[in-house]
Amino acid sequence: MKIKDNGILILVICALLWSMGGVLCKLVQWDGICISGTRSLVAGITMCILLRTRPVVYCKNVDQQTGKSTLNKKQTLNMWIAAICYSATMISYVVANKLTSSANAILLQYTSPVYIIIFGPWLLKEKNRLSDYLCLIGVLFGMVLFFTNSLGGGSFSGDIISVLSGITWGFSTIFLRRTGDKYSFNAFILAHIITFLVSLPFIVMSIASNGMVSRLTCVGILIMGIFQIGLPSILYAAGLSKVRALTANFIAMIEPIMTPVWVAIFVGEKIYWNTVVGGILVIGCILLRSVFQHFGAKKKLC
């Protein structure tokens, strides 16, 4: 099977690229919201270049006989909701990290499968299975075990924002599926544009107060924008078109599991035993679910 036809493999590569953010942030000495905004600017440009497209603000239906196009209100709405939710996820996660512990922020954001399980059958007509529920229990337990050493120490407001980022992340996945193959890429481009525009006042104030950023910071933002968020945005949209929303969200959990691994390898931070066991449990549950549903459903989306 070709890589482009394997949604699970595409999403695994996407999650691995996302997970490099922790290491790359070490290069960037700048405010979190400024990083988020400039990173999204680079990511949006990267997507437009690689996909040979430009930002699309509405979806259209084209009559095959006359060639005339009309506004597709339903798809346009889905695309904008997906874009706003993903932008809100990126921004709220950065804000939450400033108000609560990083572990709290990641753990609460990745409660997102709960919302997909609740709303997916209604909004996507994708029926939940027993293996979905078992995997969710195993994954959440593994995540708690994974972050045991660093949980706590956060603020109530930061934790609430983290919960909201989990909700928006869940709904962005749902509405990206609803948007469909044709416009899901455009939803990501819109999300990056929105993120940049929201962050722009903070970027201007930061430069006005502290001057231009260093060359190392610029290089770090370029690398993050292209490889850590731009290319993965394309991969996530492509992979999501081939698997269920819940599957995509579970695979995305490889990101927080691998983030401290890269930091340990390149920066030398210590990894504890519970971190290893929790990570193995999370990835093991995801793999078992994928194998079980592959053989159980055969040609159906896993």
Residues 127-178: tens digit of each pLDDT: 888 888 888 888 888 878 777 766 665 677 878 888 899 899 999 999 999 9
Residue pair 62/225 in contact by the 8 Å Cβ criterion: no
Instruction: Return the SS3 of 36.
Output: helix
pLDDT for position 234: 95
Question: Would you say residue 124 has pLDDT above 50?
Answer: yes
* Mean per-residue pLDDT, 51-55: 92
pLDDT for position 1: 46
- Which burial class, exposed, middle or buried, applies to 293 when counting CB atoms under 10 A from its CB (0-12, 13-18, 19+)? buried
Q: Which residue has the higher pLDDT, 164 or 67?
A: 164
Distances (CA, A) of 99 to 28, 160, 256: 19, 10, 18
- Entry pTM: 0.86
For 212, residues 6+ apart whose C-beta sits below 8 A from its C-beta are: none
Residue pair 79/209 in contact by the 8 Å Cβ criterion: no
**Amino acid, res. 27:** L
The CA distance from 87 to 83, in Å, is 6
Q: Where are the alpha helices (DSSP H) in 52-100?
A: 73-99
Task: Work out the percent of the chain whose per-residue pLDDT is above 90.
Answer: 33
- Local confidence band at 287 (pLDDT 50, 70, 90 cut-offs): confident
Q: Which residue has the higher pLDDT, 297 or 220?
A: 220
Question: How many alpha carbons fall within 13 Å on the CB side of residue 237?
Answer: 24
Most confidently modeled range among 81-90, 95-104, 105-114, 213-222: 81-90
Distances (CA, A) of 134 to 130, 131, 280, 291: 6, 5, 16, 14
* Mean per-residue pLDDT, 98-107: 71
Question: Would you say residue 70 has pLDDT above 50?
Answer: yes
pLDDT for position 22: 73
Question: Would you say residue 259 has pLDDT above 50?
Answer: yes
The CA distance from 229 to 41, in Å, is 10
Residue pair 34/91 in contact by the 8 Å Cβ criterion: no
pLDDT for position 45: 96
